[in-house]
Structure 1
Amino acid sequence: MKNLRGQEIFALIYRLFLVFFFYQIARLLFWIFNSDLIKVDGISEYFKLSYYGTAFDTTAILYVNAVFILLSLFPIIINTRKSYQQFLFYWYFITNGIAYAFNFGDIIYYRFSQARLTSAAIEVGKHETNLGRIFWNAVLQHPFVFIWFIVIIFAWIFLYKKMKVNEERPNNLIAYFASSVIVLCITATLVVGGIRGDFKHSTRPINLVDANKHVSNPLQGNLVLNSVFSFFRTLNTNNFKLVHFVDEKFIDKEIQPYKLYNREVEPKPNVVIFIMESFGKEYSGAFNRNTNIKDFVSYTPFLDSLANQSLIFTNAFANGRQSIHGMSSVLAGIPSLTDAFTSSPYSNQKIQSIVSVCNDMGYDTSFYHGAPNGSMGFQGFGNILGFKHYFGKTEYNKDEDFDGMWAIWDEPFFQYFAKNLGKKQPFMSTLFSASSHDPFKIPEQYKGKFKKGPLQIHEPIQYTDYALKKFFETASRQSWYQNTIFVITADHTNQIHYPEYQKAMNRFAIPILFYSPNPKYNLKGVDDRLAQQMDIYPTLADLIGYNKKIRSWGRSLLSDKDEDYIIVNSDSINEQMIIGNYIYIFNGKEVTGIYDKTDLALSKNILSKNPTPEQKLGIEKTKAWYQDYMDRVINRKLR
């Protein structure tokens, strides 16, 4: 038995079994902490999902432990020595400990991202200089997650040491090396098959979309996955690929990627766009008048009052999951799909946007964000869009107003914004707010001023709403105010309290508001049509009288043209499109789900082999939109 290395093989199997076991523990904790976001119908369904998750765990575990497996089995005679086993111990826990921490980080991060960790986090993180503070703040805010991680690691070490490998030398070196070669060949085959998720050569390796094969609700795919798999599987990937489903005539007719509006406007109005950090629809009373949520509480008194004098869209959706996605969607009409455009190899190209349109019309264009310059990737993408000026923490130049984590507090920065505008007119300026961001703090002088709600975010939402009120008080005294169109929307949603907003599609529910003190723009009323961030750019192009063709997947919300809509976003695994009366789930190749558009929870998949004529057209439109998106992004036709 010595020559067959039995105890080393059994020790390796036992040690890998521990990894599988603790990955399931991490999955269970992930679900417990996020059970309000990922609905599971009983314990039997949870066990079914965790069973299917084993395939994704296998891939992740073999990615991380490939070297450990090789070191454990490689025939170097000293394998059983105490010093070598000690070396394996440290290798095992350093590599697995780091990877395992990904799953625990996602326990917290999922509540904000609504998606498992992917390599896009690298793109976001490289623009930040405060990652250490963010990490320790997360630990302090969620100490039990950190404590559970430490307890589990100690339990893991305890169980690991239960399996001892006794030192021994092979009696027959020929048999030892021969058996080792056989074992290594078998192991290599198993590892390759495990990483691929299948032993069939004709089958592609499993990917994130495969998590949805066995779920009753698309959100459950995040429970099937683990964070190590989703991170490694998206490293160095480029899911931007040309596809061909329909001919160009179908795209021109049904997708209409170019829009033309004719409106005479003189003098040209100024434009101010507020992209409000995490300002989900859930927090505002004006946008929930018809939701019939019992005991609803609003945390935006000023926005609610402004809405009474504005044109608001109460059924609007974000086109992405992160702040930079909101910027590209609002300003350029480019949504984030499974892979974000802004972190793709194709983001650095000429892009037609409300910025380029305004530049073409002689506007002075500027972007304001109170964080350190370059944070969140805003400055880089702003340069691509063509903003003439960028104002960040550097330009503000008063560090005493810094919140210590992200940016200048909203109130002083909004005042700076109001007073700095209008030096040249007409102007188009965008402000991206910051204070309603995790860790959800407000300035010391306002402690006790705002009511606390059941969510941490409720207090800073009120603070930012107050900052917005103070902005309008200052702006109303400026000479440029009367001839200005204001747009207020959110970049994405955040913490959820009401069950209505736990529904899959409502994770993207945001406010969209157009306001002008000038009555000639007629921006008043409540519009309950479906709308999205991508509609803001063509609506503004229409409002300011840009009478040339624009490239846009959105539509002007003020046009009297009868334009079809396609609402687009992604749960990071599949694309989601609302077309007509249905919601279509698309994996890049085919439609895998159809839901009634009132089924925002995506609870009943009505996809059948014999779709209705409307569903059949919707399927073709879904594919056509995706085809046009890929063509324009990859072939650099976004201008």
Structure 2
Amino acid sequence: MQKNDNNSLFSDLYFIFSSAFILMLLQTLLRAILLWRNNDLSAAIPNHDLIQAFITGLRFDLIVTVYILLPLIIGLLFKKGLNNRKAYTLWLTFVSSVMIFLAIVELDFYHEFHTRLNSLVFEYMKEDPATVLSMIWYGFPVVTYLIIIGLLITALFFIFTLNSRINQTKSTDKTRYSLRMTAFFVVLLISVVAARGTLRQGPPLRWGDAFQSHYLFANHLGLNGVYTLAKAVIGTKKGDNKWLKKMPIAEADNTVEQMVLTPSDTQLDPDYSPVLRTYHARTVESKKPLNVVFILMESFSGEYVGALGHDEAITPEFDKLAKQGLLFNRFFSNGTHTHQGMFASLACFPNLPHYEYLMQQPEGSNHFSGLIQMTADRDYQSMYVYNGDFAWDNQKGFFGAQGMQRFIGRHDFVNPVFSDPTWGVSDQDMFDRAAEELQKMPNDKPFFAFLQTLSNHTPYALPTPLPVAKVTGHGELNEHLTAMRYADWALGQFFKKVAKSDYFDNTLFVLVGDHGFSTPNQVTDIDMLKFHVPLLVLGPNVVKNYGHSNSTVGAQVDIAPTVAGLLGGDTTYSCWGRDLLNIHDAGFAVIKPSGSDPTTAIIDDNKVLVKSTDNSASLYQYQLLPIASASEIYDTADTEKLDHRLDAYIESATSTLLQGKAGVKTPNKGMALNDQSSE
């Protein structure tokens, strides 16, 4: 009888541990599929690093496995043990199905964004499910993936069913419960250790533990998509913001003042904001105020811009324009999503951890400084022309509250040349309409116009026939680069039209990419090429005064101050950037990926410090030409200096945001918008 009891307990233990083995094998298989899908990223990675990624991945997989097996572990407490194998088999099949579904989704998610599953998934889905589903349907092999998912789930169901029947013994005798309790506590102890992912004292396994290679993809491969997605759900509360309180706020503000303020700035109220100041620009050579046309180009990566040294014939029109204007060749986006490109460029506020989707968060109700406020203070008319729907990213709500006067979006176009069912009208339609509207602007006031492109975005739906030749020779990037070439063509057509207008010679044109995109060359742990974008300025006397090229390091938060300098006179703002044409150092940029990826970085001249929230930091020396690359360097003084500046910048900016002091001070401002530290 005792033998039967032991066999029954042994059967339960076998079922638990064999199920764990199956789950571990499944996750290793899914990691191998991710490696296969992104083989272009692994080509240059040594086999040793890839093997290490799989070994590290086992530790993350083990954490996920333990949580999946909790119902089975708890089942050991029942007197009949795990006799209801059918229910447990269904549970294991269900969670494995979710795991498989997420892994298949992650194949193209990673290929597109170069990050494991994170909060970006939720940000997309909560926007407009219909638009997102349309993008997925038209942009990816959905049917093929569904078939693969179905086959894998079916196979897993049969494997789990077969496994549940092996060594299963049934006994009608009462189980010696003390033995079962002992087994439960032993398994529970093993599970607790396994769920930590490490035997070390202190914190359990963390994101940063996967970063053991000089190759970013190898580090990401060691992570687990379910793990990173779960962390995005439960680990992004603002109360857990590890970037805050790294130093006294007075010290952070003082550091920011040294980083941002220039001799041409008069600080107004340091107790309100360290960057609130009046900027005294040089006098411009213009009889009347300059108009401003700001163009934000979707996914306009600097890595494929001819004028930046990449002779790929992707951007011939932009390259022609670059010869007429001033091109910044070490310029970076503050984030890797259009959302961050918009608020960093227009609102002059950085992309911060936990506030990557500022335009949709309560803190976005700050009245920010930036191009809209600056031009409104000068009594400019303002207009926003866009291919898509302004409901996406809360664009109309956010920019309307910031003072944008007029919006023209996808529903305002009549008989467009091409309309994509996912996003809206084509870039050439957007630029044609913009040219028409600019021509109709009343000439009694200067104007500020914001134009945003969209065709260079998945699913890359373009007019037929295409006005440009398709790009070849770049593998999976051919379609993306064809869309970029088309966007460049549409830009060229726009300038051919507006060059004939009566306002052209009195207008400042500013062109910038909202962000780059993933390429096989992942430079440093933050994938720098996703941030490298061109900034081009064309206007009266720009080349005469500043030349054709500028190598100062800058980011999108520097655009508004630079425009303020070109407009001339005094401008009051709380911008977190500087006039790149009126500084005497090499410049800096603070950048962060979109989503809950905790990585941040500060670029200073030819060095970049990459940091995660676990305080691990790596210092690199980088180059963008002839081939973008970086090598890790070990300079304690520079590492400590840049680490301190990065911490101070993020802490100070976050503090002003939470206190409602991110913009220009007004009589009714100064009260905190959000006194609580958690969501």
TM-score greater than 0.5 by the shorter chain: yes
- Give the equivalent residue in structure 2 for 1:210: 209
Q: Provide the rounded CA distance (Å) in 1 between the counterparts of 2:493 and 2:660.
A: 42
Once the 2 structures are TM-superposed, how far is the Cα of residue 231 of structure 1 from its aligned partner? 0.8
Correspondence list, 1:303-314, <5 A: 303-314=318-329
2:648 to 607, 615, 624: 624
**Distance in 1 of aligned mates of 2:400 and 2:60:** 39
Aligned partner of 1:605 in structure 2 is: 632
On the 8 A contact 1:127/1:376 being kept in 2, the answer is yes
Out of 49, 56, 63, which is 1:52 matched to?
56
Partner of residue 292, structure 1: none
Report if the CA contact (8 A) 1:457-1:495 is conserved. Answer: no
Structure 1, residues 261-283: CA drift from partner, whole Å, max 9, x if none? 32335522121111111111122
Secondary structure in 1 aligned to 2:428? helix
Share of identical aligned residues, percent?
A: 21
Are 1:89 and 2:109 counterparts?
no
* Cα RMSD (Å): 3.2
- 1:74 Cα deviation from its structure 2 partner: 5.2
Q: Which of 649, 656, 662 lines up with 1:638 in the alignment?
A: 662
- TM-aligned CA distance change 1:142 to 1:36, over 3 Å: farther
Structure 1 SS opposite 2:552: strand
Query: What are the Cα deviations for residues 49-95 of structure 1, in whole angstroms up to 9, with x where unaligned?
Result: 2111222222333444544654x545263842xxx433332322222
Contact 2:306 2:319 (8 Å CA) reproduced = yes
2:304 counterpart (264, 280, 283): 283
With over 3 angstroms needed to count, the CA separation of the structure-2 counterparts of 1:188 and 1:531, relative to structure 1, is: same
Aligned residue number for residue 533 of structure 2: 510
Q: CA deviation at 1:179?
A: 4.2
2:100/2:152 contact within 8 Å kept: no
Count of residue pairs brought into register by the alignment: 621
CA positional deviation for 1:198: 4.7
Give the distance between the partners of 1:617 and 1:78, measured in 2 at CA.
Answer: 59
Moved more, 352-361 or 331-340: 331-340
The answer (yes or no) to whether the contact 2:622–2:630 under 8 Å persists in 1 is no
Deviation string 1:287-341 (CA, Å, 9 cap, x unpaired) is 116xxxxxx3221121111111011112222221111121122222333355443
- SS of residue matched to 1:593: strand
Provide the rounded CA distance (Å) in 2 between the counterparts of 1:359 and 1:633.
Answer: 22
Question: Aligned equivalents of 1:616 and 1:78: distance in 2?
Answer: 56
Give the TM-score of the pair, scaled to structure 2.
0.82
**Cα distance in 2, alignment partners of residues 505 and 273 from structure 1:** 24
Q: Name the CA distance, whole Å, in 2 between partners of 1:512 and 1:151.
A: 48
Give 1:485 shift.
1.1
In the superposition, relative to structure 1, how do residues 334 and 40 fare at CA in structure 2: closer, same or farther (>3 Å)?
A: farther
Cα 1:19–1:382 change in 2 (3 A) is farther
1:500 is displaced (CA, Å) by: 8.4
What CA distance in whole angstroms lies between the structure 2 residues aligned with 1:548 and 1:217? Answer: 44
Say if 1:188 and 1:514 are closer, same or farther in 2 by CA, change over 3 A.
Answer: same
- Are positions 1:584 and 2:609 aligned together? yes
Contact 2:217 2:522 (C-alpha < 8 Å) held by counterparts: no
- Displacement of 1:170 after TM fit? 4.1
Measured in 2, the distance between the counterparts of 1:617 and 1:139 equals 44
Q: 1:363 aligns with which of 377, 380, 385?
A: 380
Superposed displacement of residue 174, structure 1: 5.7
**Distance in structure 2 (CA, Å) of the matches to 1:180 and 1:356:** 70
Q: Which residue of 2 aligns with 1:566?
A: 588
Deviation at 1:441, TM superposition (A): 2.9
Quick one: which amino acid aligns to residue 589 of structure 2? Answer: I
What secondary structure, in the 3-state scheme, does the structure 2 residue paired with 1:131 have?
helix
Match of 1:249 in 2: 254
Partners of 2:111 and 2:518 within 8 A in 1:
yes
Query: Is 1:310–1:523's contact at 8 Å kept on the other side of the alignment?
Result: no
Task: Please name the residue that 1:293 is paired with.
Answer: none
Q: How does 1:222-371 map to 2 (within 5 A)?
A: 222-236=220-234, 237-238=236-237, 240-241=241-242, 242-245=244-247, 247=251, 248-256=253-261, 258=275, 260-265=279-284, 267-288=288-309, 296-342=311-357, 346-371=363-388
CA distance in 1, matches of 2:578, 2:107: 37
Q: Using the alignment, how far apart are the partners of 1:596 and 1:17 within structure 2?
A: 43
| Counterpart pick for 2:619 among 594, 597, 614 | 594
2-structure distance, mates of 1:312, 1:115: 30
Q: Does 1:388 align with 2:397?
A: no
Q: CA deviation at 1:138?
A: 4.3
Report the Cα offset of residue 606 of structure 1: 2.6
Which letter maps to 2:119?
S
Deviations 1:244-264 (A, max 9, x none): 336243332245453623233
Alpha-carbon distance, 1:593 to partner: 1.1
Contact persistence 1:77–1:169 (CA under 8 A): no
Aligned to 1:471: 494
- Determine the C-alpha separation between the residues in 1 that align with 2:591 and 2:641: 19
Q: Are residue 3 (structure 1) and residue 2 (structure 2) matched?
A: no
Residues 498 and 194 of structure 1, relative CA distance in 2, 3 Å threshold: closer
Taking the aligned partners of 2:187 and 2:386, their CA distance within structure 1 comes to 53
Distance in 2 between the 1:337 and 1:594 partners?
20
What is the CA-CA distance between 1:605 and the residue it aligns to?
2.9
Per-residue deviation, 1:378: 2.9
Separation of aligned partners in 1, 2:499 and 2:585? 35
> 1:75 is matched with which residue: 53, 74, 78?
78
For 1:451 and 1:602, locate their aligned partners in 2 and report how far apart those are by CA, in whole Å.
24
Classify the secondary structure of the residue corresponding to 2:553. strand
- The secondary structure found in structure 2 opposite 1:456 is helix
Per mean C-alpha deviation after superposition, the further-off stretch among 341-350 and 5-14 is: 341-350
Cα distance in 2, alignment partners of residues 410 and 254 from structure 1 = 38
CA contact (8 A) 2:523 2:629 kept: no
Gaps spanning 5+ residues in structure 1: where?
290-295
SS of the aligned residue for 2:571 comes to: coil
Larger mean CA deviation between 304-313 and 314-323 belongs to 314-323
Q: Matched residues in 1 for 2:99 and 2:355: separation?
A: 24
What pairs up with 1:444-463 in 2 under 5 angstroms? 444-446=464-466, 449-454=469-474, 455-463=478-486
Tell me which residue corresponds to 2:441.
423
Return 180-189 or 306-315, whichever deviates more. 180-189
Aligned-pair CA distance for 1:14:
1.2
Task: Write the distance in 1 (CA, Å) between the matches of 2:491 and 2:370.
Answer: 25
- Indicate conservation of the 8 Å contact 2:552/2:587, yes or no: no
Q: For residue 49 of structure 1, give the secondary structure of its aligned residue in structure 2.
A: helix
Residues 320 and 569 of structure 1 are in contact (CA less than 8 Å); yes or no, is this contact kept in structure 2?
yes
In 1, distance between residues paired with 2:195 and 2:633? 33
Task: Give the gaps of 5 or more residues in structure 2.
Answer: 262-273, 664-679
5 Å-filtered alignment, 1:143-182, equals 143=144, 148-165=148-165, 169-173=170-174, 175-176=176-177, 178-182=178-182
Q: Distance in 1 between matches of 2:629 and 2:188?
A: 41
Q: Counterpart of 1:480 in structure 2: which amino acid?
A: Y
In structure 2, do the counterparts of structure 1 residues 348 and 75 end up closer, same or farther at CA, with 3 Å as the change threshold?
Answer: farther
CA distance in 2, matches of 1:457, 1:87: 46
The one-letter code of the counterpart of 1:262 is A
- Seen in structure 2, the aligned counterparts of structure 1 residues 131 and 262 have a Cα distance that, compared at 3 Å, is closer
Counterpart contact for 1:329–1:335, Cα < 8 Å: yes
Paired AA for residue 629 in structure 1? A
Once the two structures are superposed, what CA deviation does each residue of 1:447-488 show, in whole Å capped at 9, x if it has no partner? Answer: 775554522112221221121122223323444333211111
